[in-house]
Amino acid sequence: MVQALIVLFFTFHYCQSSNYSIFYHRNPSLQYYAAINVTSRQFDQLEKLDRLSFDIRYLSGESAVVLLNNKKCQTTCDIFLKDGESALLTFDGDNENIISFHQFYRTITYLYYRSCFEPMEIINCRFRQTSTFDICICKNHVSECTYDEPLFFDEPWCNESTKTPTEGTATNTFSMTTSTIPFNNLTTTTKLNHSNETILKEFYLRYQNLYDHTISNNSLLVDVSLLWQESDSEVTAVFNVQNGSKLSGLHFVVNGNECQWMCMLVMGPNRNITAGVYGYPCDDIVFSVTRNNEIQVFYDFCEQPMDNVGCRMNNCLLDVHLCNKNGNSTEPFLLEKDNCTSTYNESSTTLSSRTTTTTSLTSSTIMPTTTPDEDVLRRLSEGGIGLNNVSRILNETLVYAESRSNLTSIQIQEITTILNKSAALNGLQPDDSKKVLLNMDCILSADPQQIRGSGNSSQTLNSMLPTLVMNTNASQFDFLTGENLGFTAQNIDCSSVTDDSLIDLGNIFEVLNGSVPENDQHNSIYIPLTEICSQLQATHYFMTVYRNRKLFIGASQYETYPSASTIAKRSVKPSTKGPVLQQIRARITGAPDDTNLLPSPCSRQIALPEDSPVMTGTILNDGVAIRRFATEDTIAVLKFNITNVLTPLHGYFRVTWWDTEKLEWSSENQCETSTDGKTIVARCNHLTDFTLIVDAALNDPNVCEAALMDLGYTVNALSIASLAFLTLVGLSAYWPSLRSSRVLALLTGYAMPTRDLVSLSHKLSLLLFYTVFTIFSNQKVSGRYCRFFGAVSYWLLLCSVILTIFQALRLTAVIGSIRTWIHLILAPSSSVTFSFLVPFVVSVLLLVLTNFYDRGDCFCWVRPDYIIYAVIIPISFLVLNGIVCTVLVCERIFLFKRKLSKSVLQYLTLYSPYTTLWHYVFTIVMGSQGTILALLFLYKRRRSMVSYRRSHHMTQEPSQKETTTS
């Protein structure tokens, strides 16, 4: 043990000066002395800032470490305190002796030690001796505490008559805040008028963990003092932690912040204080002040006046005792538990001036601070649930359900069991039914894999809703504030029936009288009760909107539409790791998969739009569900908003239903659908769970059909080779050494290439287009950059089209006379700049502002449903090119008519995105442009060679005649 003696002087002076000493002697059998001089001065009168100075000197031996605000003080330390701030003095290795100083007014400093909270002016000299230390606090010099012999008590540790300032002391208001380095984590800014303070009540709190044997058996002990201010309706609560986390393993928290030693807060009519243990929220105790200035204590689902509390005990998660101090009794916990004696009980619906009520349907009731213990939930689920305790159990369950996305599969199982038991109680109150739905709403935020791993919890939750409706003691109840769930239920009275609709407005749900307006595009469900009453006998109905499909789980796996990461082939980027790992396991071990593998993206299948809800309509007749009319009349009308869903390129939108026997989305007896703007309207002749699906092949034939892909690679490769050669020939005009090459002369038919920037740019843009399109048009290669490469391909293609038009215009200029300004436009630099810049801007804008390149079918190209950009603009360019270029050039060179350039056909395929003849025409024409230019070059070379030979022959004939004559 460290052997040390520390003497601490505290000097406090404003108008008058006083000296105080704190004598601390570790291991009294050995005499080793040290001294700490402590002074307090007013540092800034305007800011009311005081400075505490600690000057340490060791008299002899080895010293105990002094900690100020949990930081080691070596020789000299300063702490600045404003009004209402505190400083903490402790000794390393000693959890019993904690002394704190509190500057409440400019003239009064309080000292807190051993449950005694007093102004320092009242303290004379007090002494405490144990087997391991001596401690003495004296008003005067350290000599008052002798070194050689222990002192007897000069006065009691806390004098009841001197706990408050004397009459006439300052009554300034002060703010309860911590210092720069707080002695605990609590910070409040509540103002308190501090005059004529009296103690209203003192409690003992004891917490002990009965289940976790890894934690020390020591209990967490807390003294609670409630101090009343006569001039105001505010109460100061002082919490003194006697056995902290280091010994008990339990962290005491007040209003969500840990209280390590001592902390104080103020409560009033609008400010409650919640005290408890970190990680055990159902054991929280709430102190509040009512509007009638009465102090209430809320604990174990009982709120009662403070004076009625004798000794309350509970063992929700911890063994907790809340007891009044019984005189000088050292065993207050031997008192018997009292009953809850107040007007409030579990059937009450409100608590006076409280924000954390048991019937509140918000997450502010009690927030969990740690990962919930699955064993605790299991005990709740295995325990008995009745009408007398269902409200409390649902509240306690909500504590864990509020973990939402952090819920585990075991927790989901236990919560589901609790909800199912609660829903089965006949005579359930509407508020309790809403709590069931709130817990269910929390589960819908959980990870889908955790829900899947929770057994049949999803089926149980879906099947319990009819039972919940039948057992609820209300003609109508709604749950419209859920994060994932909207619900409405009502008794059917055919004598005065009104049709209702349930609509999802995005931030909240709403029940509308009658059908949904035609121009409303929100997700909604409508059941015509008037028609039902005319054909069926029914007692209840309910409608539900789920914002996700997490509760609809079966063996079948579905691709998500239109997310590129999930619609693409699994070899590109699998939607989940599960199916891929199952395939690998099956290949290695031969074991069967737990779930059916995802269908091939190239085959027709059911795909699920990622943001589409599930909407349910159910009619009950004394608990029996009615699915349809005797006729095929419409029994439900649903609307699905498709603003954020891409229109399928290779299929259609459908509305289908959940088959509860096969546990899959049915491909039969689907609802009749129509499209109204950005809304799919479904009219169904039966009632169940409905959702929007995409019935289509997900991938484009250009990345699925092997023959089509081989054809595309072949013709594109020929074009790339042809354009590479033509580009090299065009570049030779700018390369003198290459231009004089005999090989080049032979290849060009002795027609030397001329410098033509527009023609060279045209061939270069086509070469780049074919290179990018051939390599990156399949998402297996481009991956997550598919949209980017689609935009690059479209840009290069538009460049080549516009450059072709400029070449035709230049040919027109040669044939006829034109104005000067047209010469400027047709200049090579202007033509090339315009041809590359304008398509670049257009492509970037389409990429950033639209989903023009979001095909979602693994084919990195443009969407065909953008008619203007994908069809009209390119066709307009090419029609102009066909009229000008084809008529003026082809008729003169080829001597036959071409009604329209073949390249137009590539855009006609945009209207037919299925495996048809057009796909082959598209592939051939799209990939043959370079080859056609090469054939044109070869034809021109042949003409050039004929001309060269004729010219060469004509030059040789005169020379032969001259030789013969001579």
Would you say 779 and 858 are in contact if contact means Cβ atoms under 8 Å apart? yes
**Is 815 part of any domain?**
yes
Nearest to 507 by CA among 483, 485, 524: 483
924-947: pLDDT as tens digits? 555 555 566 666 666 666 666 666
Is the distance from CB of 222 to CB of 239 less than 8 angstroms? yes
State the Cα–Cα distance between residues 425 and 417, nearest whole angstrom: 13
- What are the structure tokens assigned to 751, written together? 């027609």
Are 254 and 306 in a shared domain? yes
Read off the pLDDT band of 440 (50, 70, 90): very high
Q: 386, 449, 387: which is closest to 412 by C-alpha?
A: 449
Which one, of 63, 158, 50, lies nearest residue 107 by Cα?
50
Distance CA 794, CA 774 (A): 13
Please, are residues 576 and 644 in contact by the beta-carbon 8 Å criterion? Answer: no
Residue 228 inside a domain? The answer is yes
Banded pLDDT at 881 (limits 50, 70, 90): low
3-state SS class at 810: helix
**Read out DSSP for 155-216?**
S-SS-GGGSSPPTT----EEE----SS-SSS-----EEE-SSEEEEEEEEEEEE-SS-TTS-
The pLDDT of residue 502 is: 96
Q: DSSP letter string over 234-298?
A: -EEEEEEESS-HHHHS--EEETTEE-SSEEEEEEBTTB-EEEEETT-GGG-EEEEE-TTS-EEEE
CB of 201 closer than 8 Å to CB of 287: no
Neighbours of 1 (CB within 10 A): 10
Is the CB of residue 748 less than 8 Å from the CB of residue 944? Answer: yes
The pLDDT, as a whole number, for residue 947 is 64
Provide the domain count of the chain: 6
> Does any domain span residue 951?
no
- Counting residues of the chain whose pLDDT is more than 90, the rounded percentage is 17
Measure the CA–CA gap between 493 and 529, rounded to whole angstroms: 10
Q: What is the mean pLDDT of residues 738-761?
A: 71
CA distances 481 to 127, 185, 478, 491, 888, Å, are 61, 34, 9, 21, 70
What is d(CA 328, CA 333) in angstroms, rounded to the nearest whole number? 13
Q: Measured at the alpha carbon of residue 824, what is the angle toward residues 821 and 828, in degrees to the nearest 5?
A: 155
Q: How many residues does the chain have?
A: 966
Same domain, 543 and 660: yes
Over 90: is that where the pLDDT of 588 sits? no
- Say whether both 75 and 116 belong to one domain: yes
| Closest by CA position to 633, among listed 591, 672, 598, 596 | 672
* pLDDT of 510 higher than 80: yes
The stretch 824-848 carries a mean pLDDT of: 87
What does the pLDDT average to over 714-728? 83
Distance between CA atoms of residues 206 and 220, nearest Å? 6
DSSP 367-422: ---SPPPHHHHHHHHHS---TTTHHHHHHHHHHHHTTGGG--HHHHHHHHHHHHHH
The phi and psi torsions of 808 (rounded to 5 degrees) equal: -65, -40
Q: Tell me the pLDDT tens digit for each residue of 317-338.
A: 677 878 877 543 333 333 344 4
Of 178, 209, 236, which one is at a domain's C-terminal end? Answer: 178
If phi > 0 it is left, if psi is from -120 to 50 it is alpha, else beta; for residue 735 that is beta
Distance, CA of 872 to CA of 855 (rounded, Å): 19
DSSP structure class, residue 333: G
| CATH code: domain of residue 516 | 2.60.220.50
Are 682 and 828 in a shared domain?
no
Say how far apart CA 19 and CA 120 lie, in whole Å: 10
**Nearest residue to 151 (alpha-carbon basis) of 169, 118, 126, 186:** 126
User: Could you list the residue range(s) of the whole structural domain that residue 574 is in?
Assistant: 565-600
How buried is 803 (Cβ within 10 angstroms: 0-12 exposed, 13-18 middle, 19+ buried)? buried
> What pLDDT does residue 586 have?
38
- 227/240 same-domain check: yes
In the block, residue with structure tokens 């995409």: 694
| Within a domain: 816 | yes
Domain assignment present for 955: no
Burial code (b: 16+ CB inside 10 Å, e: under 16) for 229-265 equals beebbbbbbbbbbbbbbebbbbbbbbbebbbbbbbbb
Neighbours of 227 (CB within 10 A): 22
Strand partners, 303: 298
DSSP for residue 599 = P
- In this structure, the answer to whether residues 829 and 907 fall within a common structural domain is yes
pLDDT of residue 957: 59
Find the mean pLDDT for residues 860-879. 68
Q: Of 85-94, 241-250, 611-620, 897-906, where does mean pLDDT reach its minimum?
A: 897-906
d(C-alpha 762, C-alpha 966), whole Å? 55
At which residue do the structure tokens 């070469």 appear? 767
Specify the 3-state DSSP secondary structure of 793. helix
Three-class HEC string of 902-939: HHHHHHHHHHCCCCCHHHHHHHHHHHCHHHHHHHHHHH
Does the structure show a pLDDT above 50 at 284?
yes
Q: Which of 228-232, 357-361, 900-904 has the lowest mean pLDDT?
A: 357-361
Residue type present at position 477? F
Domain for residue 452, yes or no?
yes
Query: Under a CB-based contact definition with an 8 Å cutoff, are residues 594 and 600 in contact?
Result: no
CA nearest to 850, candidates 808, 794, 772, 778:
794
Contact in structure between 575 and 683 (CB atoms under 8 Å): no
How many helices and strands (H and E) does the chain possess?
24, 43
CATH number at residue 887: 1.20.1070.10
pTM: 0.51
- Give the span between the Cα atoms of 615 and 635, in whole angstroms: 14
- Measured CA to CA, the distance from residue 174 to residue 108 in angstroms comes to 12
Triad 673, 675, 679: Cα angle to 5°: 105
Residue-wise pLDDT for 526-578, tens only, equals 998 888 888 888 899 999 999 999 999 988 888 887 643 333 333 344 444 34
pLDDT of residue 876: 67
Same-domain check for residues 516 and 470 = no
Name the band, by pLDDT with cuts 50, 70 and 90, for residue 427. very high
Does one domain contain both 353 and 373?
no
Each residue's pLDDT tens digit, 443-452: 999 999 999 8
- Indicate if the alpha-carbon torsion angle 219, 220, 223, 224 is positive or negative: negative
Token pair recorded at residue 352: 């006076």
Could you say which of 634, 667, 699 is where a domain stops? Answer: 699
Residues 616, 464: Cα–Cα separation, whole Å = 14
With tokens 């096969």, the residue in question is: 662
Residues 190 and 52 in one domain: no
Please tell me the number of Cα atoms within 13 Å of 670 on its side-chain side: 18
Structure token pair of residue 856: 């979602």
Residue 75 · residue 92 · CB < 8 Å: no
* Residues 188 and 313 placed together within one structural domain of the fold: yes
Q: Which of 651, 680, 699 is the last residue of a domain?
A: 699
The mean pLDDT value of the chain amounts to 70
Give the least confident one: 108-117, 171-180, 303-312, 741-750.
171-180
Same domain, 746 and 712: yes
Distance, CA of 387 to CA of 378 (rounded, Å): 20
- Residue 367's alpha-carbon distances to 398, 401, 419, 448, in angstroms, are 9, 10, 19, 23
Highest mean pLDDT: which range of 73-77, 626-630, 676-680, 935-939: 676-680
Question: Which residue reads 């109508």 in tokens?
Answer: 476
Residues 23 and 155 in one domain: yes
Q: How far apart are CA 799 and CA 569, in angstroms?
A: 31
Nearest to 520 by CA among 693, 655, 684, 678: 678
Indicate whether 949 belongs to any domain. Answer: no
User: With contact defined as beta carbons under 8 Å apart, do 197 and 228 qualify?
Assistant: yes
Is residue 130 included in any domain, yes or no?
yes
Provide φ and ψ at 884, rounded to 5°: -75, -55
Residue 481 burial (10 A CB sphere; 0-12, 13-18, 19+): middle
How many CB atoms within 10 Å of residue 366? 21
